[in-house]
Structure 1
Amino acid sequence: MWTWKVFHVPGLEAIAKNFEETEGVKITVSAFNPDEVYRTKITTSAQSGDLPDVLSYWSQGQWEMAATDLLLELTDQVDEAWQNDFLPGTFDKYGIFSQDKFDSCAKDDKCTFKNISVGQVFSVPYLAGQAYFVFGNRQIISDAGLDPNTPPKTADEWLEMMKTIKAKTGVPGLVTGVQNPDVMHFWIFNPLAITSCGVETYDAIYNGRGTFTNPCTMRVLDWLYQVAKEDLWMPGILQTNIDPADVAFSQGKAAFDVGGTYTLGFLLSQGMDANNIISFAVPPLEGSVEKTLKVSPFPLIDAMVTKDCKKPEVAVKFLRFLTSPEQMSVFAKMTGDLPAVKVPADPEKVGSTMVGLLNALSETSPFSESKAEILQEPGLVLKTGLQQFITAETTPEELAPKIDAANEAAWGARGGPKNP
């Protein structure tokens, strides 16, 4: 089995060992990275007939490989019982070639998998993910006299926690990859806005039928402004991108880190103690329409059997073993990454921090229901303004009308606001 995720190797090897003990077949796991090295390795091996029996690959990338006859078809192998093991919205939505995907491909002259038929299956997901999660340093929270076992239920409580931590320990409250302008927009502003406003109003605002001066969005802007005004960001935050932010958090340079399910595995790979990490979904502001943020994951990595496999029956059996709840629990606990499989929210089986992620997962999410279209022009004004809160160059009262003006102009250029 090949992968490009080096820190996944111990988890995959543990599963391979369990498979050998059960089936008497040895599975060797090899990692090749970075990404481009891995892609090149696959391309050259496909040409020489040296592909591995089982291949890990980016979800949705299986269709191009299948179209060139590199993969074993699994359509008749993944039965209902196996399908039921996967998280909703992973295999059912992305692992089966859908009519929508077929139609979209047919209309796209550049689509390279027009020979794939509706209903075909060539892979199964084993890693899923989503953004909108907060990670906290248990020790720093405790040092401030707060209870790390009681995550904040609202963003207001979270803000007060950060202020207390800064006052009592001197440790900054928050870090995330602010240098990337999308991070504050998509990972913090949007989840706070969609819960504060509700999907209908959130959509109306972005789609040009509402205004960013709506109290529900002003409260979000005010919250982010307060984080900056209270000096709760880690120093140098505007020069800090996503990975450096996670590294800084793992080194105890901030009490909280905003990221996604995939952040946990990275933190563990940096040597952070899993028992020193708490996790929770971005909490809504007090008075929000949605009282909790429901998060629905999507698949990130699939496993597939290649055309060069000499024992396809055994390889398929390994895929089913790999993606069983029992083995994916082992993977989750060892790697800190979220399986695309239904695993129990039991800290003994999956690790204490993983439980915080699992408890926030849902079959539906306000984002999956939303039909908001975020246009480039107002999006840029919003992203820039959020960063300017940190440099004290603007305020919520100044920023909101500017976003509205950019949004109105952008929708006007497209013939008017988007209909519901």
Structure 2
Amino acid sequence: MRIPVARKARLVVAAVATALSLTSLTACGGSSGSGDSDSLEMWTFKQSHVSALRTAAEEFEKETGISVSVEAYTPDDAYTTKVQSAAKTGDLPDVLEVHSDGEDRVLGAAGIVSDLKDDFSGDWSGRMQQAVKESGLVTELRYQNSVNKEAKDHGIEKGARYSVPLSVGTFGIVYANKKMLADAGITKAPANWGEFLAALKATKAKDSKNGGLSLGLKVQATGLTWVLQPLAYAQLGREAYENLWAKDTSGDFASPNGVKVLSMYDELTPYWMPGSQTLTIDQADQAFAQGKSAFAVGGTFTLAFLKQNGMSPDDVLAFGLPAPADGAVPDRALGPLALTGLSVTSTSDQPENAKKWMEFLSQQDVATQFAKDSLDLPATELGAESAKILGPTLSAMVDSFKGTPETTYDPTRNDAYQPIGYEQDDAGAILADLTPLKQTSVEETGQKLRSLNQSYWKAAGQ
């Protein structure tokens, strides 16, 4: 299941919280392997990664003589249970794929995975995209947030690194059904917000039942984080965008800037797939794959799920959520986030071989092939020639990352300007009443968001 980034981290941490009680158990557990120094074991929760990892493992064995067996345990809660049980019995594998910047630190605090700070350097670190190089690292801010004994990652060490990035992605990627677009006379991706609305209008006119837009709005933060926020950033620019959450109400959601952004978001109201507010993210993506909508909003990671549900990537046109042509940032990019990472378990009897495997996966040619095989984007910086291998759909998603610090919408900055304790789902619920439910006006929605933000500022004593 794919969920908004902040909510994803919160749920993952909650799911693995009981791992904290395993610290003493892992210390007395035995090694996971048979003692054969030429064989490694790796677990993942991403079924879509298995084939790609096994292909890479074949090349790794040819190069090093070290074999790697890769097994998947899904869904996420089953994977968590598997890791917990193995930690108790000392049967952990050598390498774990983990949710970045949440699960890795919880497992690190529990002593289940090792500190990689002395290993992730030089060429290995240098291959990574700049935006995700700190993923897995316990920065000063992450350490301070862990000091509270109630924190799920309480016990992590400042400066430690409990994972290295494997896959990256972003939200706000729009997928379009090429055939439905062609039937409506559309042959290319919309260049701006106005063209996107025109494309929605055209597909809806051609097929009133299935020509609209799907998004899993039952997960209430999706409309906020995947559409409104990147749209608002493009319209307002960074400073005015961040002022939407400021304690000073002069630029918040009830201000002229806020009303402008909410009005633009409300322009989607005629085009939502019927029942969007009742759909989970997976259900919305499945509906798109089944031809029940012409467009879907998701993330870079959605493409693999669409293929799993019978839709060929060749039948999909993908592009970053279009920016308004007259906005402050008409060329807005979408900042990549680390989605999954790799960790070495503390019970591995061959940690050096495990690190060799992890570094091998970061090599540009290996990472490019991984992207092609998994339909997921690697953390490695891919060269210009990679587009020939990735194909147009994946390449278009890579292109959505290309921007300057000033033109890139980076959702990881939320903590810097939103009040402590801010909950995206609460704001998302207010937005749902505006669209698709049409129960409140733009102005009423702005006032409700203002009241919500002010309540957080008051509660935080800021």
Q: TM-score scaled to structure 1, two decimals?
A: 0.88
Q: 1:166 and 2:208 equivalent?
A: no
1:285-296 correspondence to structure 2 within 5 Å: 285-296=324-335
Residues 13 and 205 from structure 1, CA distance in 2 versus in 1: closer, same or farther, beyond 3 angstroms?
Answer: same
Q: 1:104 and 2:145 equivalent?
A: yes
Identity of aligned residues (%): 29
Deviation, 1:389, is 3.5
Alignment partner of 1:307 out of 335, 346, 371:
346
Alignment partner of 1:157 out of 171, 174, 195:
195
Residues 312 and 203 from structure 1, CA distance in 2 versus in 1: closer, same or farther, beyond 3 angstroms?
Answer: closer
Residues 18-37 of structure 1, C-alpha deviations (whole Å, 9 max, x = no match): 11222222211111122222
1:209-220 correspondence to structure 2 within 5 Å: 209-220=250-261
Q: Please name the residue that 1:30 is paired with.
A: 71
- Where in structure 2 are there 5+ consecutive unaligned residues? 1-41
Q: Please name the residue that 1:74 is paired with.
A: 116
Q: Please name the residue that 2:441 is paired with.
A: 395
Q: 1:326 and 2:365 equivalent?
A: yes
Q: Please name the residue that 1:360 is paired with.
A: 400
Deviation, 1:290, is 0.9
Residues 363 and 17 from structure 1, CA distance in 2 versus in 1: closer, same or farther, beyond 3 angstroms?
Answer: farther
Letter in structure 2 aligned against 1:393: Q
Q: 1:410 and 2:455 equivalent?
A: yes
Q: SS of 1:278's equivalent?
A: strand
Q: Please name the residue that 2:97 is paired with.
A: 56
Alignment partner of 1:384 out of 422, 425, 430:
430
Alpha-carbon distance in structure 2 between the residues aligned to 1:83 and 1:118? 19
C-alpha RMSD over aligned residues: 2.7
Residues 62 and 223 from structure 1, CA distance in 2 versus in 1: closer, same or farther, beyond 3 angstroms?
Answer: closer
Letter in structure 2 aligned against 1:262: F
Q: SS of 1:351's equivalent?
A: helix
Alpha-carbon distance in structure 2 between the residues aligned to 1:382 and 1:269? 29
- Where in structure 1 are there 5+ consecutive unaligned residues? none
Residues 402 and 3 from structure 1, CA distance in 2 versus in 1: closer, same or farther, beyond 3 angstroms?
Answer: closer
Q: 1:65 and 2:132 equivalent?
A: no
Q: Please name the residue that 2:29 is paired with.
A: none
Residues 348 and 103 from structure 1, CA distance in 2 versus in 1: closer, same or farther, beyond 3 angstroms?
Answer: same
Compare 377-386 and 32-41 and name the one that shifted more. 377-386
Q: Please name the residue that 1:119 is paired with.
A: 159
Q: SS of 1:320's equivalent?
A: helix
Letter in structure 1 aligned against 2:201: K
Q: SS of 1:93's equivalent?
A: coil
Q: Please name the residue that 1:373 is paired with.
A: 418
CA contact (8 A) 1:97 1:117 kept: yes
Deviation, 1:401, is 4.2
Give the number of equivalent residue pairs. Answer: 410
Letter in structure 2 aligned against 1:312: P
CA contact (8 A) 1:324 1:341 kept: yes
Letter in structure 2 aligned against 1:159: L
Alpha-carbon distance in structure 1 between the residues aligned to 2:290 and 2:326? 35
CA contact (8 A) 1:143 1:169 kept: no
Deviation, 1:258, is 0.8
Deviation, 1:2, is 0.6
Residues 314 and 252 from structure 1, CA distance in 2 versus in 1: closer, same or farther, beyond 3 angstroms?
Answer: same
Q: Please name the residue that 1:131 is paired with.
A: 171
Residues 57 and 382 from structure 1, CA distance in 2 versus in 1: closer, same or farther, beyond 3 angstroms?
Answer: closer
Alpha-carbon distance in structure 2 between the residues aligned to 1:414 and 1:305? 40
Deviation, 1:203, is 2.3
Q: SS of 1:243's equivalent?
A: helix
Alpha-carbon distance in structure 2 between the residues aligned to 1:138 and 1:77? 45
Alpha-carbon distance in structure 2 between the residues aligned to 1:299 and 1:66? 17
Q: SS of 1:299's equivalent?
A: strand
Q: TM-score scaled to structure 2, two decimals?
A: 0.80
Letter in structure 1 aligned against 2:54: E
Residues 187-229 of structure 1, C-alpha deviations (whole Å, 9 max, x = no match): 111211122112222222321232435444333333333322x
Residues 217 and 172 from structure 1, CA distance in 2 versus in 1: closer, same or farther, beyond 3 angstroms?
Answer: farther
Residues 376 and 94 from structure 1, CA distance in 2 versus in 1: closer, same or farther, beyond 3 angstroms?
Answer: closer
Alpha-carbon distance in structure 2 between the residues aligned to 1:24 and 1:396? 63
Residues 382 and 234 from structure 1, CA distance in 2 versus in 1: closer, same or farther, beyond 3 angstroms?
Answer: closer
CA contact (8 A) 1:281 1:293 kept: no
